[in-house]
Amino acid sequence: MQPEASARPVVPHAEHFGDEASRQNAAHLGMWIFLATEVLLFAALFAPYALYRLAYPELFHQAREHMDLTLGTINTYVLVSSSVLVALAVASIRKGRELVASALLVGAVVLGITFLCIKGMEYAHHAKDKALPGAHYAFHQFAVPGASLYFTLYWIMTGVHAVHVTVGVGVLSVLCGQTLSGKFSAAYHTPLELGGMYWHLVDIVWLFLWPLLYLS
Amino acid sequence: MEGTLGYGKALLVGVALLALTTLSYGLSRLHLGNWGLVVALAIAAIKVSLVAFFYMHLSERSGGPRLVFATAGLFVVILIGLILVEASDRPAAVMPPGPFSIERLPGLDSQPGGEGGVR
C-alpha cells in the first residue's frame, strides 16, 4: 500500500543548511570524517611496521643505510613546499585573486609530479638491487632475517602513499582548471579548501614515513 | 573570521615546516641512538599539528572537525600502542623470527628445492 503523500510543504533547504556558512561547516565536517578514514587506513600500515620494528630493532635501524636519504629528503622538501603553495592558493582565492591561486596550484601540481618522479627513481634503484617485496626479495647485500619484511613494508607504505599523491595531483589539477574558469571566488571556494585538505593529509602521511623509513 | 589563513600566516607556517624538516635531518646525522626515533617522531608530530591547525583550517573551525581530528589521532595511538604493549609482553620465543633455525635466508636462491625466494 502506498503511503499517503505528506501534507507538509516541501522545504527547499533544511534549516541547518540555511546559509553558506552552515554549508561550509557541513562540508568541512564531512571532509574531516573522510580524512579520518584515510588516517585509519594508514594506521593499519603503520601498525605492522611498529610490530616488526619491535621484533627486529637493529635490522630496521640498519636498513636506512640501504635507503637513498638524499632523494627521500629532497622529496620531503618537495612535498612540504607543495603544501605551502596550496595554503597560499587558498589565501589567494579568499582575497579574490583567481589567477594567483591558479598559478600557485599549478606550482603544487608540478611539485607533486616531481615527487612521483623522484619516488620512481628510488623504486628503480631498489628494483635493480632486487630489494623487492615479499617472495621476490633477493637483495644479497642485505640478506638477513627480517630484511624482506622491512622492504615489503617500505614498498606497500610508500606505494599506497604514492597512489594518494597521484589522486591528489588529479584533484589539484581539476581544482586549478575550475579556478581558472572562474568557478571560485572570495565568496565561494569550499571545494578548493577541501581539495587542499586532502593534499595536506598526503603531506602529513609522508611527514611520518620519512623519519621512519629514512632517518632512524 | 578570526584566525583566517592569510599570506603572512601561510608563509610563516611554511618557513617553520621547512626549518623543522632541516632540524629533523640535522639531528638524524648526530646518531642519537634509540632517542633518534623518538626525537624524529616528536618533530613530525609538531609539523603535523602545524599543518592540521593552520593549513587544514582547524584554527578557524572549533567543534566537530577538531573532535574528528582528535578522535582519529587517539584511535591510531590506541591501535599501535596496544600492539606494542602486547608484543613487548610476549616471550621472545613467540616473536619473529622465533626459535626455529633459518634455513632459507632472504635473497639466497641456492636453497634445496630450488627456485623462488623466501615464502
ipTM for the assembly: 0.86
User: pLDDT tier at A16 (50, 70, 90 boundaries)?
Assistant: low
Residue of chain A whose alpha carbon sits nearest to that of B94: A55
CA distance A100 to B73: 34
pTM for the whole structure: 0.86
Mean pLDDT of chain A: 90
**Grid coordinates belonging to B51:** 599543518
State residue A11's pLDDT score: 55
pLDDT at A7: 55
Segment 25-44 of chain B within 8 Å of chain A by CB: 25, 28, 36-37, 40-41, 43-44
HEC sequence for chain A = CCCCCCCCCCCCCCHHHCCHHHHHHHHHHHHHHHHHHHHHHHHHHHHHHHHHHHHCHHHHHHHHHHCCHHHHHHHHHHHHHHHHHHHHHHHHHHCCCHHHHHHHHHHHHHHHHHHHHHHHHHHHHHHHCCCCCHHHCCCHHHCCCCHHHHHHHHHHHHHHHHHHHHHHHHHHHHHHHHHHCCCCCCCCCHHHHHHHHHHHHHHHHHHHHHHHHHHC
pLDDT tens sequence across A128-157: 998 888 888 888 888 888 888 899 999 999
pLDDT at position B99, please?
Answer: 64
Question: Phi and psi dihedrals of B114, rounded to 5?
Answer: 85, -100
pLDDT digits (tens, 9 = 90+) for B82-99: 999 998 888 877 777 766
Looking at per-residue pLDDT, the higher value among B29 and A10 belongs to B29
Cell (9 digits) for B67: 573532535
> CA separation (Å) from B36 to A119, A178, A214, B26, B107?
24, 44, 12, 11, 29
Residue spans of the domains in chain A: they are 44-215
pLDDT at B95: 74
- Say how far apart CA A88 and CA A153 lie, in whole Å: 34
Chain B segment 5-24 residues within 8 A of A by beta carbon are 5-7, 9-11, 13-14, 17-18, 21, 24
- Please count the CA atoms within 13 angstroms of the CA of A132 that sit on its side-chain side: 12
Point out the residue among B5, B79, B83 whose CB comes nearest to the CB of A87: B5
Residue B98 is predicted with a pLDDT of 66
Contact of A175 with A106, CB cutoff 8 Å: no
Which residues of chain A are within 8 Å of residue B5 when distances are taken between CB atoms?
87, 90-91, 94
- What number does CATH give the domain A44-215? 1.20.120.80
**Which of A49, A207, A214 would you mutate first to test chain B, the one with the most B CBs within 10 A?**
A207
By the CB < 8 Å criterion, does B72 face chain A? yes
A89 touches chain B (CB under 8 A): no
Write the pLDDT tens digit of every residue in A32-48.
999 999 999 999 999 99
* Alpha-carbon distance A199 to nearest alpha carbon in chain B (angstroms): 10
Taking 50 as the threshold, does the pLDDT of residue B115 lie above it?
Answer: no
Q: Are B118 and A135 in contact (CB < 8 Å)?
A: yes
Q: Residue type for B89, please?
A: D
Q: Would you call B14 and A136 a contact, using CB atoms and an 8 Å cutoff?
A: no
